[in-house]
Structure 1
Amino acid sequence: MGQIATGQDIDHRDVFENPTAAFRPSAYWFWHSIPTEEVCHAQLGDFKRKGIGTILIQARLAMSRNDYLSPAYLDAYRVAAAIAGQLGLKLGIYDDYNWISGQAGGRTVAGRDDLRECHLFWSSSGDARGEISGIHPPFARTMGADIVEWQYEGSVIEWCQWTVEAALLHSSGGINGLDQVVDVTARTSIVESNGVSCTYAFDGVPGEGQMLTVFVSARSTTSRLINYLLPQAAERFIAVGLDPLVEALGNLVPDPVGFVFYDQPAAGFYKWDQISGSLGNSLLFAPSLPGAVSLGTDETFAKTLLALLRDVGPETLRLRARFYDAYSALMNEAFSGTLRRWAKGKGITFTGHEILPHIGSWSLNGGFTSIDPRVALAVDFFGIDAHRHETAVDSNNFVAQLAPKLGDSVARSNGRSRCVVETYASAERTPVRAAGQWELTLETMRAQAIRLYCLGARQFLWHGVYQTDGRDDDPTPFDNPRFDFGPGINFEPWWDYHDLFAQETARISAFIEPATPRTPVAILYPLQTAFAEGPRHSHATHIGVWCEWLLAQRCDFMFVSEADLAKARIESGRVLVSGLAFDAVILPSVTVLETETTLRALDAFSAAGGIVWSFGDRLSTVCDAAAPASGVTSMHIDRMPGINDIEALLAGLPHFGPVIASKTAERPWQWVGYEADGWWRIVLFNDGAMPLVSEISFGDGFDCEVWSATTGKVEEAAVFNRLTVTLDPQEARCIRLRVTAQEPAGEGRLTARPSLDVARAIPLVDGWSFAPGTGAAFVPISVGTGWETQGFADFSGTGIYRLVLEIGEEAVWFLDLPEVATVVAVHLDGRLIDRRGWRPYRFALGRLLPGIYSLELRVANTAANRYYTNTPYLGDTADKSGLSAAPKLIPLTH
């Protein structure tokens, strides 16, 4: 979020040296209560010093809903925004209380019961009477009682206005066509209802071998969530939730407050006792839905509904795809379209992210596995993104995952590039996910940020920085801010080192910005298959396998939509779309396509020499085709792809640009892209524990620049015919190169590792003293094991190690710290040598004469041992803290 400068007049070196807010880390600022002006000054100033560029204020559950949007809240919001502007920070409007956009802390539906979520439920049986009962929201309940209380008034889930929307008689066995289905909606009615259930009755009797399926709508009387099919709900949300903020901010909009950010707009994912069929959750319902569905499917609403649950003959997949297409389009326009128009009218950017069922995973539905995403804004990612001005996605925990790659893909399809990636931590060692990961290290966070940039992120959005660190000895999730999706990184002991992370990662993002990624492979996003087959179909896992195998081979890729292929150009055997060039198109277990235009585009690409591969299930349905579909591929394999398949595909692809060959078993992360003037940009990152070596070649020789993300400086071009790059653990490199007309100078070597005389290394084992924080008494300590094993198990903070150091010979000395948990600053005779937030912990002490020196190491661990004490979240042992291997003095080789 933030303005992305474009054009020929941009000095990319200057942006690299001094990255703008668009590239700097951003963060949710959790408000657990209304802050004073003093608190706003202190915290915003701190965020600025630590390198954050953008802040989004987010009211959390610890804040009373009565305080949210109150006059005092709005006053504090304006004060905070004004201070942010004075500091040069950018601010965005996080659009709701806690999360789930559209409810405005319950204000949207207050006095407007007609806007509360309304759902379709169903039941099938051989009886003339049946019921809908036992409705429950498993997704909300798994989050705990506090979430239920926030979403439902009085923590009670009740319903009203039970209405039969469709009733159908059909065979209890197979159905060969919709002509075998009888619509009996007019003969079926509600005969009894209360707040939790209803009974319906058909005025006839199902015959032998027949079944009655009834669809009943009901509106919640207690839910604070809205009906996203109603534009009136979005309009009301704007009136009571967004306009008050914008009015209070006045001339602070659009600068520094330049955008509005929405978060997972979604109604409840309800299940009930009688649920059955191919749809896993209830559907939203609105009076506009039947007409939209009938128009989109050329079939009655009632019979189309039956196709969502069971096979109704050859038209089943087409009807499902067309239904969800109409359903999603209605929801997109009603909610996102309304908000985008409002944002445009206010002169601000509209952004945010939908529910991503793949969060934390490569499989398309490997994250929120308990939901059927078709009932929400959660499948048509290309269509959803068309309503945004800037793309944002959600990510969970600290592993590579699909979200940024899909986010970059949809952004490029809609005329933009890259995306904002919100990252939150959920607990891994306890079932209470909101307890978070106070054991998070800055090294882990940095590694994830760099991986995200390689996968398509522009900006890292942290969830979040905290107003308070909550209460001791209280494990309650959400209500105690400490366990509201911790960690609050500004309460981590390593927070003082965050500026190192912020500056380096922002430069890596800025370095990537001017170039177009080299993406030989396009993966067709199988939207219609996802609609028709549902989240458990093999297309979801096929996508995950393709992503992981391609990345393992360091082959970049993007997703494309059917609409992308329809507008693509084919040149020299490559398909050109969204500013990218592809040599191959992959169809991951695609069974349904929207249009024959896609088939013609794939046919033309294949005929021009392009590669079209499909795996898994075969294409069977094209929604606008009169006849059954026939496949169009260079090759089809009826199974999951394996490494041999991926290698065979890549072996058949033409190559252009630099060649990066790995000289070690493991390969570094890489991002490769090209500029219009012939220069190429490469990012290499070693996220492992051992050094990695790569060799770069490009034509007969190349000019090479090294851009230091640590310092912001650029080493002017040298000429090589080959460049060997050695990456220490956790080291990142930014390299720019182009084919040269000069005579190559020979082989180059790039390494940050000094030439040390390890045979003369001096282990510093004995004589250390330790104090748990400034002002504490010093005691003897071993550096062979962490302080958590030596009487300081619950100490989280900066521990101070001291040693009287005797240097026996003059030399240029380096200090190597083999194991540090987690960050360290080295002082020699009271002078700061340097700070490190991640490996390698190697420090140049300079040329030292023989004599006595005072060495001080200030090591900060994580907050886990302090905040998890006396809670169920601590685990079996305390987290490692401080030094756990003896430091070494090593002289520079003569």
Structure 2
Amino acid sequence: MPALPVLFAYESTLCRFRNPDPWHAPAAYWFWHRLPDEDTIRAQVRQMHDAGIRSFQVQARLSYPIEGYLDEDYLAACRTAVGTAAELGMIVGIYDDYNWQTGHAAGRAVTGHDELRERHLFWVRIPAGASEGSLSGIRSATENLGPAAMDWHYEGGVVAWADWRVEYALVVEAVEGEQGTAAERLELVDRLDGAADRCRVHLAEPVPDGTEAIVFVSARCATSRLVNPVDPVAVDRFIEAGYQPFADALGDFFGSTVAYMFFDQPHAVYYDWAERTGDLRSAMPFHESLAVSIRERWGGRTPQVLAAVLDGDDPERLSLRAQFYEHFSGHAMETFLGKLRAWSHAHGLRQSGHEVLGHVGGWTLDAAFADWDLRVNFGLDHFGVDGYRDLTAVDAQDALVQLSPAFGDSVARHHGRGGTMVEQYFVTPPEGGAPWSGHWGLTLQELRTTAINHHLQGMRQMIFHGFYQTHGHGDDHESLRNPRFDFPRASTSSRGSSITTRGSRSRARG
């Protein structure tokens, strides 16, 4: 007799394996390239359901008119999609921004609120005997993604800086192999000449012999569509502009069909400049509240800490540098992710999403996105980030066994959960292919093997990147703007009913 309960349990488990619930069945980003009509919405949701996809997130891509994001027509279309999903017993997550990189709401958050645009901290070194220093050649990492991305991140597709300020002025005495001294002397700065693409620092007197001056200056990117992620008021405005419209349009589905919010790589843009030197490889998001928190923690040691962030490899300076990044990361996570989670919970939703993963596509913790200094992101404290989530999520690159699923499951278990969502994309193009052109030779066997490997490493649900409205248009080969060259993965045409596996994405994302 004991065999009957065991057999019944086995059959029940096998049934659930063959017919997983929506939290374990495949999910998809549903890429919108234009406003779909009601018939298209219903047909494509049904296509996903019939293909075994039981969950989706609508994501407006760069080919979708940016001015139409979150307008009445867009939200009405989202409501039709969610209503159709409800009829089919599916669940929906809300992908929380236009294209990717949470924190701009397609620029709606900063329209009429210029003061909330991203602000960054730069530094100018002035050697002994000199009384002037410059900062020029500022370059946005978005340039690597091409003109379509520049139009997305910046009004007019150009980077322009304004509202330059002196934040700290240090006189540093270098001592070989030791910490040395660092004193703060704001009165040393006589004048700051700031322009759209550069600034120049003028000192009241030459830098004393045996020392150097380090002047930290901040500026607001006057054309950026992103909010300042370490400004609490800016984050509140992003939620008002980017989250609340979904609540107004879909609130009666919250907590049932609409189950969670999903953030994707929340961070400011990375900026480098011609005169940059030191250990930190990019400008750092900055706000008065961060400056206050730094003073509260280190008080009179603040100059020493700031100097250590830039230079030195002795134990004392390395310790201070690590403490600083731990402090920055904690402040940024609480300011940004803490507010997103609070809003989601207040509206009966779970919080999910993923940060920039330096280990995506391999086993080395910091090989991916190598041109970005992820220490000035919410970035490298993955256990800390997961503390702000209810559903762990990571991304994975190509048909490779890699660290992402195992790490995702690990951080989930640390917080009393298990398993992780894995957003799967393929970046390796065919021989002779260009970036974004896709892994056109992807086979079902390759995809199946990848999915099995991820499951064995801790994946709970695979998110296909992504399910398309269209295969693309005409002979336009512009990267990202033509859907044909914008991460094709599991794709469908509104004119047909077949699903084809395709794929592309780049480590240079965002």
TM-score, normalised by the number of residues in structure 2: 0.92
* Paired residue secondary structure (2:380): coil
Q: Deviations over 1:752-777 (max 9, x none)?
A: xxxxxxxxxxxxxxxxxxxxxxxxxx
> What is the CA-CA distance between 1:474 and the residue it aligns to?
2.2
- The equivalent of 1:623 in structure 2 is none
The amino acid that maps onto 1:424 is: Y
Segment drifting more, 458-467 vs 155-164: 155-164
Q: How many angstroms apart in 1 are the aligned matches of 2:414 and 2:305?
A: 31
- The equivalent of 1:791 in structure 2 is none
- The equivalent of 1:361 in structure 2 is 362
More helix by share: 2
Equivalent pair of 1:24/1:459 in contact (CA under 8 Å):
yes
> What is the CA-CA distance between 1:123 and the residue it aligns to?
2.0
- The equivalent of 2:6 in structure 1 is none
Equivalent pair of 2:227/2:238 in contact (CA under 8 Å):
no
* Paired residue secondary structure (1:292): helix
Q: How many angstroms apart in 2 are the aligned matches of 1:419 and 1:458?
A: 5
Equivalent pair of 1:164/1:215 in contact (CA under 8 Å):
yes
* Paired residue secondary structure (1:339): helix
* Paired residue secondary structure (1:435): coil
> What is the CA-CA distance between 1:479 and the residue it aligns to?
1.3
- The equivalent of 1:345 in structure 2 is 346
- The equivalent of 2:424 in structure 1 is 423
Q: How many angstroms apart in 2 are the aligned matches of 1:285 and 1:862?
A: 42
> What is the CA-CA distance between 1:170 and the residue it aligns to?
2.2
* Paired residue secondary structure (1:300): helix
Higher relative contact order structure (alpha carbons within 8 Å, sequence separation ≥ 6)? 2
- The equivalent of 1:163 in structure 2 is 165
Matched, 1:147 2:149: yes
Matches within 5 A, 1:432-581: 432-490=434-492
More strand by share: 1
Equivalent pair of 1:440/1:487 in contact (CA under 8 Å):
no
- The equivalent of 2:282 in structure 1 is 281
Matched, 1:43 2:44: yes
Equivalent pair of 1:291/1:301 in contact (CA under 8 Å):
no
* Paired residue secondary structure (2:139): coil
Matched, 1:130 2:133: yes
Matches within 5 A, 1:182-331: 182-297=183-298, 299-311=300-312, 314-331=315-332
The amino acid that maps onto 1:445 is: L
Q: How many angstroms apart in 2 are the aligned matches of 1:295 and 1:189?
A: 27
Segment drifting more, 436-445 vs 89-98: 436-445
> What is the CA-CA distance between 1:14 and the residue it aligns to?
4.0
The amino acid that maps onto 1:396 is: Q
Q: How many angstroms apart in 1 are the aligned matches of 2:466 and 2:31?
A: 7
Equivalent pair of 1:134/1:197 in contact (CA under 8 Å):
yes
The amino acid that maps onto 2:153 is: Q
Unaligned runs of 5+ in 1: 1-7, 499-860, 865-894
Matches within 5 A, 1:854-893: none
Q: Would you identify which runs of 4 or more consecutive aligned residues in structure 1 move more than 6 Å?
A: 861-864
Matches within 5 A, 1:809-848: none
> What is the CA-CA distance between 1:102 and the residue it aligns to?
1.5
* Paired residue secondary structure (2:471): coil
The amino acid that maps onto 1:461 is: I
Equivalent pair of 1:128/1:212 in contact (CA under 8 Å):
no
Identity in percent: 38
- The equivalent of 2:117 in structure 1 is 116
Equivalent pair of 1:425/1:487 in contact (CA under 8 Å):
yes
Matches within 5 A, 1:732-743: none
Q: How many angstroms apart in 2 are the aligned matches of 1:449 and 1:495?
A: 24
Q: 1:11 to 1:299 in 2, by over 3 A?
A: farther
The amino acid that maps onto 1:95 is: D
- The equivalent of 2:508 in structure 1 is none
Q: How many angstroms apart in 1 are the aligned matches of 2:452 and 2:124?
A: 49
Q: Deviations over 1:11-69 (max 9, x none)?
A: 54442242101111100000101111100111111111110010100001111011111
Q: How many angstroms apart in 2 are the aligned matches of 1:184 and 1:201?
A: 14
> What is the CA-CA distance between 1:238 and the residue it aligns to?
1.4
The amino acid that maps onto 1:364 is: L
How well do the aligned residues superpose, as a CA RMSD in angstroms?
Answer: 2.3
* Paired residue secondary structure (1:290): helix
> What is the CA-CA distance between 1:371 and the residue it aligns to?
0.9
Q: 1:165 to 1:88 in 2, by over 3 A?
A: same
Equivalent pair of 2:91/2:259 in contact (CA under 8 Å):
yes
Equivalent pair of 2:138/2:272 in contact (CA under 8 Å):
yes
- The equivalent of 2:106 in structure 1 is 105
Unaligned runs of 5+ in 2: 1-8, 504-510
Q: How many angstroms apart in 2 are the aligned matches of 1:157 and 1:89?
A: 42
* Paired residue secondary structure (2:42): helix
> What is the CA-CA distance between 1:312 and the residue it aligns to?
7.9
The amino acid that maps onto 1:242 is: Y
Equivalent pair of 2:79/2:249 in contact (CA under 8 Å):
yes
> What is the CA-CA distance between 1:381 and the residue it aligns to?
0.5
Q: 1:337 to 1:50 in 2, by over 3 A?
A: same
The amino acid that maps onto 1:354 is: E
* Paired residue secondary structure (1:213): strand
Q: 1:346 to 1:863 in 2, by over 3 A?
A: closer
- The equivalent of 1:564 in structure 2 is none
> What is the CA-CA distance between 1:299 and the residue it aligns to?
4.8
* Paired residue secondary structure (2:96): strand
Q: 1:57 to 1:395 in 2, by over 3 A?
A: same
Q: How many angstroms apart in 2 are the aligned matches of 1:406 and 1:156?
A: 37
The amino acid that maps onto 1:286 is: H
> What is the CA-CA distance between 1:392 and the residue it aligns to?
0.3
> What is the CA-CA distance between 1:439 and the residue it aligns to?
2.4
Matched, 1:401 2:419: no
The amino acid that maps onto 1:129 is: E
Equivalent pair of 2:166/2:192 in contact (CA under 8 Å):
no
Matches within 5 A, 1:714-793: none
- The equivalent of 1:16 in structure 2 is 17
* Paired residue secondary structure (1:162): strand
Q: How many angstroms apart in 2 are the aligned matches of 1:448 and 1:43?
A: 25
> What is the CA-CA distance between 1:495 and the residue it aligns to?
8.6
Q: 1:312 to 1:440 in 2, by over 3 A?
A: closer
TM-score, normalised by the number of residues in structure 1: 0.53
> What is the CA-CA distance between 1:300 and the residue it aligns to?
3.4
> What is the CA-CA distance between 1:175 and the residue it aligns to?
6.2
- The equivalent of 2:507 in structure 1 is none
* Paired residue secondary structure (1:267): coil
Equivalent pair of 1:279/1:309 in contact (CA under 8 Å):
yes
Q: 1:181 to 1:463 in 2, by over 3 A?
A: same
Segment drifting more, 195-204 vs 337-346: 195-204
The amino acid that maps onto 2:176 is: G
The amino acid that maps onto 2:91 is: K
Segment drifting more, 431-440 vs 23-32: 431-440
Q: What is the total number of aligned residue pairs between the two structures?
A: 491
Equivalent pair of 2:428/2:438 in contact (CA under 8 Å):
yes
Q: Deviations over 1:186-234 (max 9, x none)?
A: 3214432211111112212123332221111111100111211122222
The amino acid that maps onto 2:36 is: P
The amino acid that maps onto 2:277 is: S
Q: How many angstroms apart in 1 are the aligned matches of 2:194 and 2:174?
A: 27
- The equivalent of 1:77 in structure 2 is 78
Q: How many angstroms apart in 1 are the aligned matches of 2:150 and 2:483?
A: 17
- Answer with 1 or 2: which has the greater Rg: 1
The amino acid that maps onto 1:276 is: T
